[in-house]
Structure 1
Amino acid sequence: MRASRLVSILLLLQSRGRMTAAELAAELEVSVRTVYRDVDALHAAGVPLYGDAGHRGGYRLLEGYRTRLTGLSPQEAGALFLSGVPGPAAELGLGSVLAAAQLKVHAGLPPVLREQAGRIQSRFHLDAPGWYAEADPVPFLPAVADAVWNGRLLQLRYRRWREPTEVDRRLEPYGLVLKAGRWYLVAAPGPRTYRVDQIIELHALDEEFTVPEDFDLAAFWQQHQARFHAWLHTADAVVRVSPAGATRLRGAAARALQASGKVQPDGWTRAVLPIESLDHTCREFLALGPEIEVLEPAALRERMAATARAIAALNAS
C-alpha cells in the first residue's frame, strides 16, 4: 500500500507540478503527517524532490525529472489500454495521436505488464453507440474540439426542434461529451448543451476566452441529465404488468416498477410508472401487447384502446 502511495505522489507532482502537503493528503486520502513521512522516504531513496516554504510553497520535483511507469499494477496497465476508445478518438481527429501514445506507453512497460495490457486489449472491445441507430455525421466535430482545446470562440448556425428551427449562436465552448454514441457541446452563455450533429455552419473566431475555474464538466453533465429526466417526467400512470411484461420494461419504467410495484394474487404487478406524453407512452406500452393494462389516467387508457382497435381493424382478415 505504501509503495503504491509513493508512486502516486511522484506521478501527481510530475503531472501537476507544485503541490502542498495538504493537497497531496486530500488527493491520497491520508493525513498530512503521512505525506511528510512519505516525502522523507522519497528523499532517502534519492528522488530529487524538494519543498518551498511560505504561503505559496509546496513540494515539487527537480526540473526535468521523470519517473518510469514501473509503478503500474497489471490491472492499471490493462485499464490504461482499455480506456482508449479508438472510434471517438478518430472522430476528434486524434486517432493517430492515440495510437502513437499507446505505442510509447506499451514500449515503456515491463514485459509482464506489457503482456497483460496486450491481452486485455485483444479481448475487450468498447462500442459506445446503441443498437438500431445510425451514427450521426459530425463533420464539424474536429473544429469544435480544436476550439474547446484552444479556448477559441465559435460562431455557428444551429438547428433545434422548436421555432425558429435555425438560430445563430456565438459560443464559448467549454467541453465535449460523448453520450450513447452522440456528441454534445457544452458552451456558454449558460452554459447549455448543443448536439454537434445539429450544427449547420461553423466558424472558429480568433477571439479567446477562459473557462471559469470553478466549472466542472462532469458535474455539469450529471446535473444536466438530472434536469432532463425531470423535464421528461410530466405525469404518472397506474398500470398492471404481467410477469413477462415486467421483464421487458427498461430505464425509468423498470426502476419505478421495482420501487413501487406490488404483486397481486394473479401474479401481475400493480405499479406507478412515470410518463412523458400520451403519444410517447402509448407507443411504449403498446410494444408490450397484452402484457400491460393501463388503469390511470383515463386519457391514456382510452388512447391505448382506440389504437388497439384501429390496429385490429386494419389487420382483420
Structure 2
Amino acid sequence: MRADRLLSLMLLLQRAKSRQLTAEDLARRLEVSARTIYRDLDALSSAGVPVYAQRGPSGGISLAEGWQTSLTGLTQPEVQALAAVAAPGALADIGLSAALESGLIKLSAALPAVHRSLAEHARQRLHVDASGWFQGREVVPHLDVLREGVWQDRKVWLAYRDFDGEASERVVEPYGLVIKADRWYLVAGAERGPSIFRGARVAGARLLEATFARPEGFDLAACWKALSRRFAEQRASYVVTLRVTGEGEAALRRVRPGGEHERWGRGTCGREGTSVVTVDFERESIAVSQIVGLGRGVEVIEPAALRARLREIAKDLRAVYGARGAAAPQRRGRKR
C-alpha cells in the first residue's frame, strides 16, 4: 500500500508542475496524516526523486522544475514481472481485484509498443495461482470493517475468539492486513503491543470514530516478520516422544513437516530398526488428529495421557469396524 501511495504522491507533485502543494493538501488527497506525507517525501528523496520543501506562509512542496517520471525506463524483466501479476482472490476479498485489473490495463497502454509485446509474451507463459488444492477459503465476515479501519487509521472494536475458543473483547488500532496461505490476518496495536489477529476468528467488529497515529517509522512487512518470529518462539508446546519405523516417520513428516520453524527433535536408534523421536505438536488435539491415522508405524511413548486417549479411540474404532461391525458375507445361491 505504501508503494502505491508513494507513486500517487509523486504523480500529484508532477501534475502540479511548478505550483507548490502543502503537506495538508497532499494528506487530504491521499487520506493520510501530514506526518505520513513528510515520511513519504523523505523516502522519495532517498530514492533520487528531486523533492523540495519551502517553509513559510507561501511555502509548499514541489518537484524540481522540468523533472518527471517515465515508464519507458522499464527493463525487460520488470515488464515480465508486471505482466505476471494476476488478480488473486485476496484482492477480491477486499474489493480491489477489478481495480488491479484496470490499473494493469492502463499501465500496459502507457508502455511503448515493444514493451507491450513483451508483456503479452510473458502473460502467455507465466500464470500465478495463489489458491491451495482441496482447501476452501476461510470466511472472514468482518473483513470490510477491518479494511476500513486500516485505510482510515480509525480504531476498531473487536469481539475475538482464540484458538481454544475463549472469547474476548478489545479496542485495537488496525495497522494493516496480511494474507498468508489464503488466510487473512490483522496486524494491530493492542494493550500488549503490536499483535496478530486471525481474520476468521473475529466474531464481531465495529468501526469507531476515534482515530490513531501509526507508530513512527512503522513498516508492515518488517512488523509481520517480527511478530511471526515471536509467535514461533512463544507458541504453545506439547512435546510427544514417538517410536517410529522408517515408513512411519516418512508418513508423519508428510503431515507434520519441519517447516520454517523446526518442530522435530533429534532421533535415537530404537529396537528392531525403529527410531525414537520427539515432535512438538503444540496441543494434544493436534497430536491426536495427526497421529491417529498413521497406523502401526508410529507409537506414542510419552506422554501417558496421550497413549490413553489413543487407546480409547482404538477401542471405539474396533467397536465399529471389528468383527461384530463387519459386513456379513454374501450367501451363496441354492443349488438346483
- TM-score, length-scaled by structure 2: 0.66
What is the aligned counterpart of 1:222 among 217, 220, 225? 225
Q: Which amino acid aligns with 1:204?
A: L
Provide the secondary structure at the position in 2 that maps to 1:76. Answer: helix
**Contact 2:264 2:279 (C-alpha < 8 Å) held by counterparts:** no
Q: Which runs of 5+ in 1 are unaligned?
A: 1-10, 25-38, 40-47, 53-59
**Contact 2:41 2:51 (C-alpha < 8 Å) held by counterparts:** no
Output aligned runs, 1:60-209, within 5 Å: 62=64, 65-160=67-162, 165=167, 167=169, 169-189=170-190, 190-209=193-212
Output aligned runs, 1:222-261, within 5 Å: 222-248=225-251, 249-250=253-254, 253-254=257-258, 260-261=266-267
Deviation at 1:126, TM superposition (A): 3.6
Q: Higher helix proportion, which one?
A: 1
Instruction: Report the CA distance shift for 1:107/1:234 in structure 2 as closer, same or farther (over 3 A).
Output: same
Instruction: Report the CA distance shift for 1:88/1:303 in structure 2 as closer, same or farther (over 3 A).
Output: same
What is the aligned counterpart of 1:310 among 311, 316, 320? 316
Q: Which runs of 5+ in 2 are unaligned?
A: 1-6, 12-39, 54-61, 324-336
Deviations 1:135-162 (A, max 9, x none): 2333432332232122122234444566
Q: Which amino acid aligns with 1:153?
A: K
Q: How many angstroms apart in 1 are the aligned matches of 2:160 and 2:51? A: 52
Deviation at 1:233, TM superposition (A): 4.5
Q: Which amino acid aligns with 1:234?
A: S
**Contact 2:243 2:275 (C-alpha < 8 Å) held by counterparts:** yes
Instruction: Report the CA distance shift for 1:275/1:143 in structure 2 as closer, same or farther (over 3 A).
Output: closer
Deviation at 1:200, TM superposition (A): 4.3
Correspondence for 2:330:
none
Q: How many angstroms apart in 2 are the aligned matches of 1:245 and 1:112? A: 56
Provide the secondary structure at the position in 2 that maps to 1:287. Answer: coil
Instruction: Report the CA distance shift for 1:133/1:171 in structure 2 as closer, same or farther (over 3 A).
Output: same
Question: Is residue 287 of structure 1 aligned with residue 290 of structure 2?
Answer: no
Q: How many angstroms apart in 2 are the aligned matches of 1:73 and 1:50? A: 25
Q: How many angstroms apart in 1 are the aligned matches of 2:311 and 2:161? A: 36
Deviation at 1:83, TM superposition (A): 4.1
**Contact 2:86 2:128 (C-alpha < 8 Å) held by counterparts:** no
Instruction: Report the CA distance shift for 1:304/1:156 in structure 2 as closer, same or farther (over 3 A).
Output: closer
